[in-house]
DNA sequence: GCAACGATAAACACTT
DNA sequence: AAAGTGTTTATCGTTG
């Protein structure tokens, strides 16, 4: 049912100008100064294309994550586990390619050429049925629609084996292959192709190949895949004399023949795209399964009184901790709120991992029906995630999944004296989030609006001007019936994370379906969950380590404006009820930030004396 | 259906 | 005068 509605929306939305404009307006939320980035000319929006590429690259990177995790479980996966630093660099690349960055990388003529090329490719995917003028706008939508219909119908209940069968079916779908002109579909020429190619490398059939240089093939520079193939003499889609493309298994005597086969049989067309989409779902399913199994392992170890966090070697490049559930365990190993080696921004953590790790945990917290509201009412395990993943947001043009209020609060609390001028808040936003380096008009207005609107923000005038402080009590007061997230925020997040090419309804449907899968009792606090982590909602609170650390162990979470020694305080009407709402748990929650206690963290935290955290 | 919330937009006043 | 700052109002979409 959800699939149907989602599909329907996908069909209809892009056919209207609203569909395009609404999409761009999201990424544009405040994107006026970058209007050249996302503006469309009435045809395929470059943003659409790039979002699609981002999504594909994201999927590819996620697949790598999965490979890392599953590779660990494999007895003979040492080479995978030892994949060194370049992984992070390589993973950063696809995720980080934003429209803006693409513009920076490419000169305007190059960008234009790329876009034209991609439009042509999209048109070709449609075969000859579409005309040039109308098809350009509908091509991606229809292409996505086809894939969405296939994948959405299947992903919910199919096991990988089923999906393998699906491969056969998809492969058998009459394609527009005959319409393809291989000369124009050189896989090595367009980023669209290359990203699809990267994502499509994911195959449940094949082992996790590592390239000779130790990098996973996913991270191979996509600019020239053919040259890569020629240089390395191997191909992740080629092994044992046959094509490893899902559902293909065509025999190829040598690499050259395989390349020829690959370019002819698996060029960018609707069929390949659909297969790629399905493969994404395969990966997604596997990730979910991995998370479940990891959680199960955790439960088993817990039951056996083992401490997984202790033996877990952090210096291992990657291990099961790459699954969300164990990332949580990472943090559990450091309840003191100390820097977490594996997730620290200073470590070569891939931004992709950071991003999802941030988003996912809270998404599961708040979205999942199992997650109890009271657990995140005061507990803010997600708070520290910003600190942990700041590098991600610094570099990725992704809208932070936090409300303005929480961001502002975090910025202020992060300041040495816990007060900032408006301009300093601005600077913090731009410094911490690539997303806010553009769209200044809108979000600055929003910041001012939030500062004025919320009573938790107190304007204080001192000698050098007005500064803004946080009335923590008020902040806590305003949170009680925490919503699962701002719809607008979620929507923006989705678009900002490269899902903009998909209809929001489908995104929601996908999110829901996957989250349902993830929301098994053992999955409550897991932090992975694949791309749909991105669909996190309710990441309202960004209060972080900073506040506890800065508080020097003080148990007073609320710093009343008076504490700032200000000359004048403009109190917004309702006075704070400090005693009533001064909940040590708030501090505790932030101290324990990533404990991600299953369900009853609030109660447990309330019982914990602060000293235990020291 | 309603209230609450968050985002966004905009108008306006005031200050620098 | 222009820009920045701060306040306020309105609207929209979503959720509980």
Closest Cα to residue A114, out of A222, A201, A270, A10? Answer: A222
Protein residue closest via CA to C1' of B15 = A465
State the DSSP string of A339-394: --TTT-TTS---HHHHHHHHHHHHHHHHHSTTS-HHHHHS--TTHHHHHHTHHHHH
- The number of beta carbons lying within 10 Å of the beta carbon of residue A327 is 28
Which structure tokens are listed for A493?
Answer: 């997040």
The long-range contacts involving A519-522, CB below 8 angstroms and separated by at least 24 positions, are A519/A364, A519/A367, A519/A368, A519/A369, A519/A370, A519/A371, A520/A292, A521/A370, A522/A292, A522/A295, A522/A296, A522/A299, A522/A325
Which positions ≥6 away from A73 have C-beta within 8 Å? A320
Cβ proximity of A473 and A586 under 8 Å: no
Which positions ≥6 away from A260 have C-beta within 8 Å? none
The separation, in Å, between residue A444 CA and nucleotide B9 C1' comes to 12
Q: Is residue A262 packed enough to be buried (19+ CB in 10 Å), middle (13-18) or exposed (0-12)?
A: buried
Query: In angstroms, what is the C-alpha Rg of chain A?
Result: 24
- The answer, yes or no, to whether residue A299 has pLDDT greater than 80, is no
A141-150, A156-165, A331-340, A439-448: segment of lowest average pLDDT: A331-340
Residue that the structure tokens 């959800």 belong to: A2
Which structure tokens are listed for A563?
Answer: 């504490």
pLDDT digits (tens, 9 = 90+) for A488-502: 444 444 444 333 333
pLDDT digits (tens, 9 = 90+) for A134-183: 333 343 333 333 333 333 333 433 333 443 444 444 444 333 333 333 33
- The answer, yes or no, to whether residue A397 has pLDDT greater than 50, is yes
Q: What is the dihedral of CA A218, A224, A228, A234, to 10 degrees?
A: 60
Q: Which nucleotides of B are covered by protein (CB under 7 A)?
A: 4-11
Which structure tokens are listed for A553?
Answer: 């162990």
Cβ proximity of A324 and A524 under 8 Å: no
Helix extents (H) in A456-525: 472-477, 487-494, 504-518
Which positions ≥6 away from A183 have C-beta within 8 Å? none
Q: Which nucleotide is closest to A570, CA to C1'?
A: C6
pLDDT digits (tens, 9 = 90+) for A271-286: 777 776 767 776 677 6
Q: Say how far apart CA A461 and CA A592 lie, in whole Å.
A: 34
- The answer, yes or no, to whether residue A347 has pLDDT greater than 60, is no
| Percentage of residues in chain A having pLDDT higher than 90 | 3
For strand B, is any atom closer than 7 Å to the CB of A561?
A: no
Q: What pLDDT is attached to residue A304? A: 62
> Among chain A residues 415 through 444, which have CB within 7 angstroms of nucleic chain B?
441-443
Give mean pLDDT, residues A449-467: 86
Confidence of residue A297 (pLDDT cuts 50, 70, 90): low
Q: What pLDDT is attached to residue A569? A: 53
Q: Say how far apart CA A365 and CA A569 lie, in whole Å.
A: 37
What b/e sequence results for A466-483 when a residue is b if at least 16 CB atoms lie within 10 Å of its CB, and e otherwise?
A: ebbbbbbbbbbbebeebe
Q: Which nucleotide is closest to A572, CA to C1'?
A: C7
pLDDT digits (tens, 9 = 90+) for A85-121: 222 222 333 333 333 343 333 333 343 444 444 444 4
Closest Cα to residue A530, out of A205, A362, A209, A285? Answer: A285
Confidence of residue A27 (pLDDT cuts 50, 70, 90): very low
- The answer, yes or no, to whether residue A66 has pLDDT greater than 50, is no
Q: Say how far apart CA A1 and CA A430 lie, in whole Å.
A: 41
pLDDT digits (tens, 9 = 90+) for A564-574: 444 445 545 43
Q: What pLDDT is attached to residue A401? A: 82
Give mean pLDDT, residues A355-361: 35
Residues with CB under 7 A from strand C: A 421-423, 426, 445, 448-449, 451-453, 459, 466, 468, 481, 483-488, 490-491, 504, 508, 537, 570
State the DSSP string of A131-200: -HHHHHHHHHHHHHHHHHHHHHHHHTT--HHHHHHHHHHHHHS--SGGG--GGGG-TTT-HHHHHHHHHH
The separation, in Å, between residue A362 CA and nucleotide C15 C1' comes to 17
Q: Which nucleotides of C are covered by protein (CB under 7 A)?
A: 4-10, 12-16
> Among chain A residues 492 through 531, which have CB within 7 angstroms of nucleic chain B?
492
End-to-end CA distance of chain A: 51
Q: Say how far apart CA A244 and CA A258 lie, in whole Å.
A: 10
Q: What pLDDT is attached to residue A272? A: 75
Cβ proximity of A214 and A84 under 8 Å: yes
- The number of beta carbons lying within 10 Å of the beta carbon of residue A553 is 12
Which positions ≥6 away from A415 have C-beta within 8 Å? A424
> Among chain A residues 442 through 461, which have CB within 7 angstroms of nucleic chain B?
442-443, 445-446, 448-450
Q: What pLDDT is attached to residue A468? A: 92
Average pLDDT, chain A: 48
Q: Say how far apart CA A328 and CA A309 lie, in whole Å.
A: 10
Q: What pLDDT is attached to residue A570? A: 52
> Among chain A residues 525 through 544, which have CB within 7 angstroms of nucleic chain B?
540
Q: Say how far apart CA A156 and CA A465 lie, in whole Å.
A: 56
Higher pLDDT, A213 or A65: A65
Higher pLDDT, A256 or A40: A256
Confidence of residue A71 (pLDDT cuts 50, 70, 90): very low
Q: Say how far apart CA A203 and CA A158 lie, in whole Å.
A: 16
Closest Cα to residue A549, out of A414, A410, A389? Answer: A414
Closest Cα to residue A44, out of A72, A23, A28, A27? Answer: A23
Q: What pLDDT is attached to residue A604? A: 33
Q: Say how far apart CA A425 and CA A411 lie, in whole Å.
A: 6
Q: What pLDDT is attached to residue A305? A: 58
Confidence of residue A450 (pLDDT cuts 50, 70, 90): very high
Which structure tokens are listed for A26?
Answer: 């999201």
Give mean pLDDT, residues A190-211: 33
Q: What pLDDT is attached to residue A413? A: 87
Closest Cα to residue A544, out of A400, A349, A352? Answer: A400
Higher pLDDT, A136 or A320: A136
> Among chain A residues 224 through 243, which have CB within 7 angstroms of nucleic chain B?
none
Name A465's bridge partners. A462
Q: What pLDDT is attached to residue A72? A: 36
Confidence of residue A410 (pLDDT cuts 50, 70, 90): confident
């Amino acid at each position: 049912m959800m699939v149907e509605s989602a599909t329907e929306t996908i069909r209809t939305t892009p056919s209207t100008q609203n569909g395009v404009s609404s999409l761009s307006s999201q990424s544009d939320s405040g994107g006026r100064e970058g209007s050249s980035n996302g503006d469309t000319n009435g045809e395929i929006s470059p943003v659409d294309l790039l979002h699609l590429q981002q999504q594909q690259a994201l999927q590819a990177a996620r697949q790598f994550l999965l490979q890392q995790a599953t590779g660990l479980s494999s007895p003979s996966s040492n080479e995978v586990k030892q994949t060194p630093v370049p992984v992070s660099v390589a993973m950063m690349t696809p995720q980080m390619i934003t429209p803006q960055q693409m513009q920076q990388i490419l000169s305007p003529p190059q960008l234009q050429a790329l876009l034209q090329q991609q439009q042509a490719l999209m048109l070709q995917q449609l075969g000859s049925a579409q005309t040039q003028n109308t098809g350009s706008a509908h091509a991606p939508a229809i292409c996505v629609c086809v894939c969405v219909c296939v994948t959405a119908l299947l992903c919910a209940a199919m096991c990988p084996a089923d999906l393998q069968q699906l491969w056969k079916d998809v492969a058998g779908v009459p394609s527009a292959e005959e319409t393809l002109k291989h000369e124009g579909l050189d896989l090595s020429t367009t980023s669209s192709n290359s990203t699809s190619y990267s994502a499509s490398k994911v195959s449940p059939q094949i082992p996790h190949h590592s390239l000779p240089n130790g990098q996973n093939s996913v991270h191979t520079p996509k600019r020239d895949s053919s040259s890569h193939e020629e240089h390395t003499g191997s191909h992740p889609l080629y092994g044992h004399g046959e094509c490893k493309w899902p559902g293909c298994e065509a025999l190829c005597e040598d690499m050259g023949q395989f390349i020829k086969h690959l370019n002819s049989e698996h060029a960018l067309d609707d069929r390949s795209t659909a297969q790629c989409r399905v493969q994404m779902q395969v990966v997604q399913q596997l990730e979910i399964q991995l998370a479940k199994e990891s959680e199960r392992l955790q439960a088993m170890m817990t039951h056996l009184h083992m401490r997984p966090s202790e033996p877990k070697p952090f210096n291992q490049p990657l291990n099961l901790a790459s699954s969300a559930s164990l990332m949580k365990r990472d943090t559990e190993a450091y309840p003191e709120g100390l820097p977490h080696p594996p997730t620290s921004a200073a470590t070569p953590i891939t931004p992709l991992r950071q991003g999802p790790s941030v988003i996912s945990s809270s998404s599961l917290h708040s979205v999942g029906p199992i997650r109890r509201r009271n657990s995140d009412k005061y507990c803010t395990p997600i708070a520290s995630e910003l600190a942990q993943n700041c590098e991600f947001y610094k570099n990725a043009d992704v809208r932070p999944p936090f409300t303005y209020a929480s961001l502002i609060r975090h910025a202020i609390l992060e300041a040495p004296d816990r007060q900032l001028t408006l301009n300093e808040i601005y600077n913090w936003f731009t410094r911490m989030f690539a997303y806010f380096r553009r769209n200044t008009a809108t979000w600055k207005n929003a910041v001012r609006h939030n500062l004025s609107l919320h009573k938790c923000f107190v304007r204080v005038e001192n000698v050098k001007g007005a500064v803004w402080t946080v009335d923590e009590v008020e902040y806590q007061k305003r949170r009680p019936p925490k919503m699962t997230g701002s719809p607008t925020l979620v929507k923006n997040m989705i678009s900002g994370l490269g899902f903009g090419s998909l209809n929001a309804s489908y995104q929601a449907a996908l999110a829901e379906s996957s989250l349902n899968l993830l929301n098994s009792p053992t999955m409550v606090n897991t932090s992975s969950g694949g791309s749909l982590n991105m669909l996190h909602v309710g990441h309202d609170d960004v209060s972080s380590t900073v506040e506890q650390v800065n508080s020097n162990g003080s148990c007073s979470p609320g710093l009343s404006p008076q504490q700032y020694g200000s000359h004048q305080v403009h109190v917004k009407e309702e006075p704070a009820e400090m005693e009533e709402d001064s909940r040590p748990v708030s501090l505790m929650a932030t101290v324990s930030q990533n404990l991600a206690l299953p369900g009853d963290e609030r109660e447990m935290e309330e019982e914990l004396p602060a000293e235990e955290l020291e």
